[in-house]
Structures are given as C-alpha cells and as structure tokens.
Structure 1
Amino acid sequence: MGVPLYNRDLSWLSFNYRVLKMAGDERVPLYERIRFLSIFSSNLDEFFRVRMPAVLAINRVLEKDPDAGSDEALTPDTLQQVLQEINRQQVEYGQILTGSIMPALLKQGVELIYNQDVQGIVKTCTRNYFLTNILAYLQPVWLNNQEKKLFPENNALYLVVTLIPEGNASEREYVVVNIPAALNRFITLPGEDGVFRIVFLDDAIRAHLAYIFPGYAVHSSHSIKLTRNAEMDMDEIKGDILEEVETLIRKRELGVPTRLLYDAALPTPVLHFLAAQFDVATDEMIPGGRYHNLKDLADLPMPATLKDALYPRVALAQNPTTAKTDYMLDLIQQEDILIHLPYQQYDHILRFFNEAAIDGDVQEIYVTLYRIASSSQIAQALISAARNGKQVTVFVELKARFDEANNIRWSKKMKEAGVKIIYSIPGMKVHAKTALVKRRRGYQWDYSGLIATGNFNESTARFYTDHVLFTAHTGITREMELLFLYLQSREQPTAYNFLHFEHLLVAQFNMTDRFTALIDREIAHAREGKQAFIHIKINNLQEKTMIAKLYEASEAGVQINMIVRSISCLVPGIAESKNIRVIRIVDRYLEHARVFIFCNNGQEEVYMGSADWMNRNLYRRIEVCVPVYAPALQQQLKDIIALQLADSSNAQNAIQSYVRNIV
C-alpha cells in the first residue's frame, strides 16, 4: 500500500485561497486587503507559468494510462479539480473586490471606476491624457493581416476589438490593441466633489477606440492575456552556464501558451478565432473578468488624507547583544548571535559584511547568493572587499527562477571588481544561505560563520520572516569551509562522497539520513514510554519518504506539530496522521523560516536552515541546516514556534512583542 498523499497543486491553491481570505478580512487595513488581492493574482499567474504545464502534461499521460501513477497524487480528475478550484476562487475574488473592498473605499472617499460605461466621465476626463500620453504606446494589430502576425507577450494585456466597417454592417474586423505596460495601470481623475476617482488604463483606451479606427464603428472590446510556460530545463545546461542561462531567459518569454485568460463576455466565435490564432488548447482557455493582471492593484493610488489604510509602521527592535558592540566579528568570537527577521533590524547582517570588507585582518570571504536584492548593499560590500585586497569567493546561483537576470547582472559586476565568481553546478541548484569570514590574528585564524533560513536580500528581509545565526563554533565553521571547497569544484556530490559533516545537515550528503535518524529516535522514545515530540516549521512538505516517516512517528505515538506555509501533501485526519497537527499561517509577513525541534526525551535539539521537505530540496539542491547549540538561542526559537502554534491568527503581534522583550 502506498503512502497517503494529498495533491500538491490543490494544496498550493488552498494556500493561495488563504491569501485571498486575508483580502476579505475586514480586520485588515483597507489598502493591505487590496495588497493581498494583488498577491493572490500574482501567485496565480506564477502557478499558470510554472505548475500548470506539468499538470496539463501529466493529465494527458493519465488520459491514456490512468494507472501511470505519480508521487504528486495526480489522477485523471486532478486537472478538472484544479480548474474548478481556480474558478471558484476567482468568483470569490470578484465578490470581495466589488462587494466588500470597493464599498469600503467609497466610504473613505475613493471611487474605483470598475465595470462601468466609459463614455461618460472616463471619456471626458481622460481625453487629454489619452492624446498626449497613451496614444504613443498603442500598436494595433489586425488579426486578418497575413503579413503581420501578433505574438502576445507573456502576461501582457490586450484588448480584442471588434470593428464594423462603415456602410457594411455585416462585416467584422478583429484588431488587438496593447494595453501599455510602460504606463501606470491607474489614472486619477480630477474631482470637484471631494471624491478621489481612479480609472483603469484599460478603460481610458476603451473610451477612445473610435479615435484609433476612423471609418469603423467599434462594436465591442474585450480584454485577454496569454500566459506562457516559464519552466526552463536547467538540467540540460552544459558548457558556459552564464551564456546558456542568458539564452534560456530570452527563450522563456517565447514559451508555449499555458493559459488564455479572457473576458467571459467575449463572444464564442471570437474566442475560437483567437484560440486558433495563438495555438491554445480548449483546456488552456480560462474565462475571467473585464480586467486582468489585477496584481497591479498593489499600485492602486491612495489619497494622502486616508488614515489607517495601511499596517502601522513598526519600529524594528535592536538585537540587545549586537547593540552593545562596535565590532560584530569580535562579538561573534565570544558568543553565538541569533537575529529574527523582520522583527529585528537587518543592519546586523549588513554590518557583518561591511566589517569583513574593511577589517584589515580579514583575508578570505565566502558567500552563497541565491536571490540578490536589485540594489544589493551586500554585493557592494563584497565588491569593496575585493578591491581592498581580500580574497572573495561568491557562489552565485544563476538558476534562481525569475531572478536569473538580476543575479547575472550582479555576478558580472562583482567579477569585474575582482571577486571570484563560482557559477551553478550543472543539474543542481545551491539554495543554501551561508557566509564565512576568515580573519588572521597573528599566527592563528578565527572563523565567523553566518547561516540563515532566508536569502541575503535586504529588500525581502523587510517582510519575510527568517532567522539568521552568527557563530564561531569550530566544528560548524570548519564544516562550512569544507562545503565552500566542494562548491568551488562544481562537481556532483557523488564525486565528493568522502566529505563528512558531523554538525551541519547538508542535502546531497547527510541531510535526509540525519532527519530520518532524528525522527527514528523520537519513535524509539515514544515506544519506550518516554517523552517524544517533533515541532517543524517549513514552507513546503511534499517529499514522500519524509511524509512516510512522519506517519510512522505518529503511529508510534510521537506528537507532531507542523507549521507549513504553502504546499502540504501530508493527509490530515486519517489513521496514519492521528498524532499530527498541521497549521498554516498567513499574515502581515511571509512566513519563510525553516525550524526543526526534536524532543530527545526532554533534551531538545533545535535546527534551522534553508531546506524544505520537497524532492527538489532534498535531492536536487545543496541545502544547509545548522544545529543551534546555545541554550538561550534555542529557547528563543522554541518560544517563537510555541507562539505560532498557540495562535495562527495573531501570532505576528505576539512575536513582535516577544522579540522586543528579549534581553
């Protein structure tokens, strides 16, 4: 009998639905609710770019062979279930926007003109803006023109316009008009009645279509958007990885369609005409509303007079330990330090890299970078370090999805400054978040290590929850040095199977074995009548072997509490999972930390790191988890996890208060 699994795509959709519910929660500030609508829409776009191609492909296999099976719990019904769930969520999305948020905006003196006739105030008030700003960007394409074919850009917005030639009412011409991405999606209209009115760029174009097509009557206009497959086969990369990734990035925008999202009011004959034009299959055509790309709602204009429409500004806490010292590198040699983001200032991480860049005794710096901030101060510090004569080695993961171009840009800039750049290992991603600074003191060296649960990215650190450990522990830092030596080889792990990690848990080397052993110990303790529990916080839980091991522990009596933000393929409420509780937290910040706590009969062991429990993390990436040895720091992580397990609704506020009171 196989391991009971819940489908990963349906699980992910349930996570995105939780995001949508935040938009419907009237306790959330108004413009933050609008931001959650934007996040929901952006997430769904990525789902159609990244996951839907796999769902469609596997579904076609299962149509021919229903017994083909899959570790992802896909059945011949999965595609229909996915599409039904997406449609249900989109309907609720519209209800929240039009039935809850727009009335709330109106009460605050803000009117979003939505699904309204554009020939009145919209046409009058946007005429000058259309003629002076919009018109220059419009590039109509006649679909019956055989010489000029339309190739819709990925997730770009278009209007399909049906025209009737003057004097020939029986004829129809179809033209596609782009909605320019270079312009703001929203236009504020002048108001003399005190109302702050906002109109979609789409509607400003609709209102003036007759100006573009003299000699024709505009019969109708409907919005469409084509989403293209974003998956790139990185495993096939050989040779110059930088050049090949750059080529693949360009090709990604030419990917095959995975979704034609269209205004549900679009006439069926026109829809079929478009499907043939764009080579879209029936199961890839998704009805929607009048407006697409509602992720742009994140940029909805807000009048300056609006009060309490955003989360209150939070004064970030200082870490009490680092606040008392002028030199982070010296302090790390004395004691381990743990930073909790975004509740505490990111300055501590910046100080670590800045001090390393300028300290005259620092000789070598090693860093793994997965997603770099577009204006990265950390990358700038590494550039300064290299120019200051230090040996700087940076492993840049060029295959970080949708961040490839930014990572390439920074890798070239660092390389020009003298930084030794190590590019991706073929067929594998390096997802670890690690840094090591080696400082010569006389005839001796001291090592300062940094291991985090999230990227070295000061932009995302403002709203991602993560933990960052600074340590000079001899065993940990020496193993970090071994890891960096391996990464420089750019060889597969099998070529370095002689590496032994006693402290670090490193995917491809010992991570799955160590996690399995830790769970087995809890199983043994439970069977002996000893105290046994496991607390795990991760982003995704999908890997079948680890799920099976959790079921085994549950059946043995181990009490398991899990906080899984996104995908969870573990099936709750069955005999195998009777002692497993799984919760999901969606709130002001994006839960991103990975923490693992094992009871060990009262002598708890605590780990943190970069690894989720998915096939890709455990078998196709280099991930690092680290034990937290300092009892006080262990207690901080245990307290934070306890707060989240106790309250999945307002845990953010509780943690904020807790972190402020750490002494």
Structure 2
Amino acid sequence: MENDILNYTQNRELSWLKFNKRVLEEAQDPTVPLLERMKFVAIFTSNLDEFFMIRVGSLFDMIQTDPNTIDSRSGLTPGEQLEMIFDAVAPLYKERDKTYAEIKKQLSPYGVCGLDFKELEQSEKKYVKKYFKEQILPILSPQIVDANHPFPHLLNKEIYVTANLKYKDKSMQGIVPVPQFVSDILYLPGHDIRYIRMEKVIMEYLNLVFEQYEVTDKNYICVTRNADIAPDDEALEVNDDFRYLMKETLHKRRRMAVVRLEVAEKLSEEMEQYFCGKFAIEPNQIFRTKMPVKLAYMFAISGNLPEAMKRSLVYPPFTPQNSPRVQEGSTMKQQIKKKDILLYYPYESMNPFLRLIKEASTDPNVLTIKITIYRLAKKARLVEYLCAAAENGKEVTVLIELRARFDEQNNIDWSERLEEAGCRVIYGFDGYKVHSKVCLITYRNRNEIQYITQIGTGNYNEKTAAMYTDLSLMTADPEIGKDASEFFKNLSISNLDGLYNRLIVAPTSLKQRVLYLMDEEIRKGSGGRIVMKMNSLTDVDFIEKVAEASRAGVKTDLIVRGICCILPGVKDHTENVTVTSIVGRYLEHPRIFSFGTGAEQKIYIGSADMMTRNTEKRVEVACPVLDEDVRRQINHYLKIMLTDNVKARVLNSDGDYEKKEPTEPLIDSQVVFMQEALNVKRKAPERRQTFLERIRHLFGK
C-alpha cells in the first residue's frame, strides 16, 4: 500500500505553488477592483518570500543532514524537489511581472503612477535630485568591495543598490544599502499620486555617491535567507529563559544562508558567477524581477486616495456586523448560559467575545480566565481586558506561543506586558507548538463551579478577524468546560497525554478520533458522508483514510484552501472525492469536520489542519458542535461554499485547478455571507417599525 499512495498524491511544495498561483489569478481577475488586484500581487509576493524562507530553506537543511530522504507523497529527494520548485517558480515570476505591469498601466488614468526616472517631468527631476542631495545622500552608508573592504553581510529581504566601479586601472564592486528608516517610495509634488521608488532614486544618482569612480552595470539586489530555525531543536539548558532563547533565535535568523537572489537587471555572466560565489548559490536560485521587490507601500497608497476615487479602485467597504444571536440587554455570560453562540468572522464582529472577556474582568463571581494565544494584533483590546482582570484579582493564565513564525517578537512583547499586569504566563511544550484557540472562564454560581468555554478556528487577533474567515463557538456546556479545565491543567504541568470526554486534542486523540469517525462512515458504504474544510492537507494517514472511504463509496467533499496532497477523481482510489479551493476577498481559515447526515451527524470545529505537523507535533483542540441551531448554521456555510461557482476552483486528478463553469445563479460564497450579515441588520429596524405601527393601530393613532 505504501507505493500505492503515490498513485493519488502530489508533492506538498508544488501543491503550495499552485495555491499561490490561485492568489495571482485574483490579481488577474478584471472583476476585482484595481488596487485590490495590486494587493493580491503583494500577497502573492509575500507568500513566495515566506515559501523560500521556510520551505525552500528546510529542503536545503535536509540536503545537509539527509540528502536521500524520500518524500512519502511524491517519491522525490530534497534535491529533486528543489529542482522542480525552481523550474516551477521561474514562469511564475514572468506571470507576476506581466500582471503587475498591466495593473500599473490601468491605474495611470486614475492618477496613481509609479514612475521610472526617464518618465519624470523636468520639474520632477529637479525635485528628486534636490531631495536626494539634501535628505538621502547624507544618510547613505556606501561601501566598496576590494582587498581591504570585505563583502558585507546583506540582510534578509532588504534592498541593496550595486554597481561596478572603476578607478584608474582598478575595478571593484560598490554596494549601497537602501536605508530601512526611509520611505520605500518618494511622492512627487502635485495632486495626483505620482511616485518613484527609493532604490531607483539611489540608482540614478550613484555617480554622486561614488564621485571619484566610473560607475557601470547599475542594479539593485535582494537576498532571501533561510529562516527555518526550530528553537525547540536548540540545546536548551534547564535554567535558560525561553523568552531569551527566542530573542537569540531571531538574531540568528538574520544571518542564515541565502536561498534566493532577486535582481532588477539581467546579470552579466561575470556578475552571475561573482554573486553565486559570494552567496554560495547556483544560477537557478537567481530570479530577475521587473516589478518592485517590496510592494507593501501599495497598502499605504490606497489609504491616501480621495474617497471618491477610492470607491472605484477598492472593494466596497464592509464592516463586520453585530451577530443577530447576541443581545445588548444582558451580559454575554447570561446569554451563553441559555444557548451556545457561534460567531462567523469577518461577516460578524469579534466584539461579543471581547465583551465576554471585558465583562468577566469585573464580574465578582469570575474566579479564573485561561487562554491560549498564538498570534495577536499589534494593538490588542484582548490583552487590555486580560490585564484588567489580573489587576482586579482574577487568576489569569495565558499560554502564549513564542514560536509563532514571524510573530515571535510581537509575542515576546505581549508576554512581558501580561506578566507586568500580574497574569501568569507560560510558554508551552518542548518540541510541540501550542496552536489551539481555547479560552475558559471559571465562575462560582452559588456553591457550584461553572464554565464558559470559547473554542475558535482562528487567532485572537482583532486585525485579522476582519480579514480572515473563522468560527468562534462560545458554550456553557459543563462537559466541554470540564474538559477545557483539564486541558489547561495539563498545559500547566506539561502533560500531553490528558484524557477528555468531549474535546479531541492533538497530538494524542485528535487524529485518532477523526480517523475513527471516518471509519464509521466507511462502514455505511455509499450511505456514508464526509465533508471537511481546512487550510492544508498533507497527513499521509488521513490521505489513505480518505482514499479508503472513497473506495467504500463514501461521498467525500474536501474544501482545502492551500496545500492539498491528495488527488481526487483517480480511478480505483479517489473517485468519490472532490477537492474545492476558495480564494477570494477574505482568507479562508475555518477548520470544520463533518461526519454523517441528519440526527446522527457529528460536527467538530477546531484549530488543526490535516497536516502531520498539526496532528502529531502541535497541541491542537477540536470541539463538538452540539447545539442544533449552531449545527444548522455550519451546514448552511458548508453548503454555500460547495455551491460557490465564482471564486471556487476544483482540483483535477492531474493536480491542476479549474474554475467551475459559471452557471446561473452565480454564487460567490463570501459575497453571500456578507449579504446575509447585512440583511440581518436591515431586518431588525423593519421589525420594530411593524410593531410600532400595530401599537398605533390598536390605540387608534
């Protein structure tokens, strides 16, 4: 059976590149507003940066440690995977450059113009030169590379302007870092948004930087470094503070090996050899980009637009709505005790959950608040409320995961703030990231201890809750509360082997329970039904079980946004499996597992994807959905997503994605959910008006 799996699986990294291509397709979609299309180019670019830093970085590490490791889903060695990755990425660069150029051209009539130096008007050139001489030149740190000046360490993802320099009969390399503390772009005077990128300004005036030299072969370059450091693999003394170790890890990451070099201009053979030697890379790791290396400034530009123009260039504004299941008149605790409440971000606001924590911070009956935190916003009301609770004498325990990739520093800062306020801060397990999203409020009701538990599919991040789709369940179920209490006790004493009645917890019971529930459906044969939504699917045990279910006749629908290593529709293996990916305005993020139909249906929501790292190397929690109304809500969400024929792509048995045929009615699931949230808001005042009219009629007014 081991080799058999290769018939219906594909390589994880190539699957991820196909996901990022779907992001680029959104940038090419003429129905998406222009600045939003440019944002998709920026998202594609930052996704690719992270892919090289983490996934490509880890493959290079594997070549050093075990070059003969075989990927179980594709049969490829790390070296073979890297070759395929570089071959697949090269055309994506060309497609991205073409897409960027097209959007840039279409933005011009709106007065949003990113310019090359030769496109500037004479007065603008004077302005730029004056600005450069007065504001930029004095703060530059140029360097030559020769026998007395070694090649400098180039920081990850920073831009450096380079050139060949000649002085008398000597040739050398000149390097100028683009200062990190200056703006990425220089706005030009006038009403329109005309700008030139800072690296282009510095390139133009390199002769003023290296005055005594003859300057040729001007270029700008950017290195991407391996950032795949696992701090839990480091030698850690028992007495070392984990927060200190993370600070050291971040420092080390700045100096890791180069995995990619991006250049603006084509390199001569001589310069290609020079850089390959300096960075210890191969020519296929060098990528030419005709668009900016950094595109974050596009987000700022959209903020500077006049409102009238903005309306035609960005999505219509949408504010997360108040949930119709949450009332203003009573406390969140009272409402949750009566009935479970499910919030669906970003269509519904995160405020009810924040309100729950705020009320708990001052509630005299609340004894403890416990929460697991993976990622937080830079500004977090949640932290304010947790700190207030601690200052009000509540026992507040926060497990904050310092190893949340690229959020390490933010989490270090927040952990220090929480500790200062009197919260008990813990960091989790050696070798196991705590990725679960669980919050438990314990309170005394007369002489009885009772619980409010919140389980989420996404982070307690107030910023991303308006950009990512996620589910947040708040329940007073006593069994779930007891399990959550046991879960936090186990976190505090580093026990991974806890036993739970309702919650399923990785690494011990989550995968086992999911496989068991799939077996139940397999026993039903063609009467079985499985629907699952997740971000990524790589776990081999799960993949084999999906194929087994398909062979038994179980209809299995998988909604997988990103990496998907199973191929559907493969004869004798996955003929009863469909895989749908939705890429749209919001990042799809919920994890939902549904088994069976009708009264026997079992639904779980949680934080785990079906990836080996989540099921075996992380602490994850999934919670059963017991309330009938909440179950109906989730079934409705799944049904709409599976009928999406606008933003949904369907995976074929050859590993390619195709958009569905656009048949009437056109269903964009995210638009449907926005509309439903807005319709609820509109209906409320109408109902009040009808009631008032009845009163007037009764009293003859």
Provide the TM-score with structure 2 as the length reference: 0.88
- In the alignment, what sits opposite 1:84? 87
- In the alignment, what sits opposite 2:146? 144
- In the alignment, what sits opposite 1:205? 202
CA contact (8 A) 1:242 1:398 kept: yes
CA contact (8 A) 2:595 2:603 kept: yes
Matches of 2:440 and 2:305 in 1, distance apart? Answer: 47
Partner of 2:153: helix, strand, or coil?
A: coil
Question: 1:441-469, CA deviations, whole angstroms, 9 ceiling, x for partnerless residues?
Answer: 22122211110000111011110100000
- One-letter identity of the residue aligned with 1:361: N
- In the alignment, what sits opposite 2:345? 341
Matches of 1:647 and 1:182 in 2, distance apart? Answer: 44
* Aligned ranges 1:248-647 → 2 under 5 Å: 248-289=249-290, 291-300=292-301, 302-304=304-306, 306=309, 307-491=311-495, 493=496, 497=497, 499-526=498-525, 531-575=527-571, 576-600=573-597, 603-647=600-644
Matches of 2:386 and 2:374 in 1, distance apart? Answer: 15
Question: 1:186-215, CA deviations, whole angstroms, 9 ceiling, x for partnerless residues?
Answer: 222224xx7542211111112221211212
- Residue 359 of structure 1 and its aligned partner are, at CA, apart by 0.9
- One-letter identity of the residue aligned with 1:589: Y
Question: 1:243-301, CA deviations, whole angstroms, 9 ceiling, x for partnerless residues?
Answer: 21121111111111111222341222123222323333444333333642235443446
**Shift in alpha-carbon separation, 1:583–1:435, aligned structure 2, 3 A:** same
Partner of 1:523: helix, strand, or coil?
A: helix
Matches of 1:315 and 1:370 in 2, distance apart? Answer: 25
**Shift in alpha-carbon separation, 1:42–1:618, aligned structure 2, 3 A:** same
Matched, 1:158 2:154: no
CA contact (8 A) 1:38 1:298 kept: no
Q: Which of 208, 212, 221 is 1:224 aligned to?
A: 221
CA contact (8 A) 1:234 1:426 kept: no
Matches of 2:122 and 2:178 in 1, distance apart? Answer: 21
- One-letter identity of the residue aligned with 2:181: A
Of 109-118 and 337-346, the range deviating more from structure 2: 109-118
Of 179-188 and 120-129, the range deviating more from structure 2: 120-129
Of 116-125 and 135-144, the range deviating more from structure 2: 116-125
- In the alignment, what sits opposite 1:189? 188
Partner of 2:327: helix, strand, or coil?
A: helix
**Shift in alpha-carbon separation, 1:214–1:114, aligned structure 2, 3 A:** closer
**Shift in alpha-carbon separation, 1:146–1:369, aligned structure 2, 3 A:** same
- Residue 659 of structure 1 and its aligned partner are, at CA, apart by 3.6
Matches of 1:408 and 1:196 in 2, distance apart? Answer: 38
CA contact (8 A) 2:376 2:460 kept: yes
Matches of 2:520 and 2:549 in 1, distance apart? Answer: 10
- Residue 161 of structure 1 and its aligned partner are, at CA, apart by 1.4
CA contact (8 A) 2:320 2:345 kept: no
Matches of 1:474 and 1:315 in 2, distance apart? Answer: 34
**Shift in alpha-carbon separation, 1:54–1:506, aligned structure 2, 3 A:** same
Q: Which of 98, 111, 123 is 2:113 aligned to?
A: 111
Of 371-380 and 386-395, the range deviating more from structure 2: 371-380
Partner of 2:600: helix, strand, or coil?
A: coil
- In the alignment, what sits opposite 2:651? none
Partner of 1:402: helix, strand, or coil?
A: coil
- Residue 218 of structure 1 and its aligned partner are, at CA, apart by 2.1
CA contact (8 A) 1:507 1:621 kept: yes
Matches of 1:96 and 1:120 in 2, distance apart? Answer: 29
CA contact (8 A) 2:533 2:560 kept: yes
Of 265-274 and 299-308, the range deviating more from structure 2: 299-308
**Shift in alpha-carbon separation, 1:396–1:303, aligned structure 2, 3 A:** closer
- One-letter identity of the residue aligned with 2:523: A
Matches of 2:626 and 2:442 in 1, distance apart? Answer: 21
Matched, 1:653 2:671: yes
CA contact (8 A) 2:320 2:466 kept: no
- Residue 30 of structure 1 and its aligned partner are, at CA, apart by 0.8
- In the alignment, what sits opposite 2:663? none
Of 285-294 and 80-89, the range deviating more from structure 2: 285-294
CA contact (8 A) 2:553 2:576 kept: yes
Matches of 1:334 and 1:603 in 2, distance apart? Answer: 24
Query: Identity over aligned residues, as a percent?
Result: 31
CA contact (8 A) 1:562 1:583 kept: yes
- Residue 542 of structure 1 and its aligned partner are, at CA, apart by 0.2
Question: 1:5-38, CA deviations, whole angstroms, 9 ceiling, x for partnerless residues?
Answer: 2101001111111111111111111111111111
Question: 1:558-592, CA deviations, whole angstroms, 9 ceiling, x for partnerless residues?
Answer: 11111101110002231211111101111110001
CA contact (8 A) 1:522 1:600 kept: no
Matches of 1:600 and 1:341 in 2, distance apart? Answer: 25
**Shift in alpha-carbon separation, 1:142–1:117, aligned structure 2, 3 A:** farther
CA contact (8 A) 1:399 1:424 kept: no
Matches of 2:121 and 2:154 in 1, distance apart? Answer: 28
- In the alignment, what sits opposite 2:99? 96
- Residue 72 of structure 1 and its aligned partner are, at CA, apart by 4.5
- Residue 350 of structure 1 and its aligned partner are, at CA, apart by 1.0
Matches of 2:492 and 2:221 in 1, distance apart? Answer: 47
Partner of 1:503: helix, strand, or coil?
A: coil
**Long gaps (5+) in structure 1:** none
**Shift in alpha-carbon separation, 1:74–1:117, aligned structure 2, 3 A:** farther
Matches of 1:573 and 1:280 in 2, distance apart? Answer: 40
- Residue 349 of structure 1 and its aligned partner are, at CA, apart by 1.5
- One-letter identity of the residue aligned with 2:244: E
Matches of 2:609 and 2:505 in 1, distance apart? Answer: 12
- One-letter identity of the residue aligned with 2:280: D
CA contact (8 A) 1:34 1:298 kept: no
CA contact (8 A) 2:272 2:283 kept: no
CA contact (8 A) 1:119 1:207 kept: no
- One-letter identity of the residue aligned with 2:390: A
CA contact (8 A) 2:568 2:578 kept: yes
Question: 1:152-209, CA deviations, whole angstroms, 9 ceiling, x for partnerless residues?
Answer: 00111011112233xx4x6433101111222221222224xx7542211111112221
* Count of residue pairs brought into register by the alignment: 646
- One-letter identity of the residue aligned with 2:19: F
Matches of 2:151 and 2:161 in 1, distance apart? Answer: 16
- Residue 53 of structure 1 and its aligned partner are, at CA, apart by 1.8
Matches of 1:382 and 1:74 in 2, distance apart? Answer: 49
Partner of 2:353: helix, strand, or coil?
A: helix
Matches of 2:607 and 2:538 in 1, distance apart? Answer: 15
RMSD value over aligned CA atoms?
A: 2.1
**Shift in alpha-carbon separation, 1:294–1:385, aligned structure 2, 3 A:** same
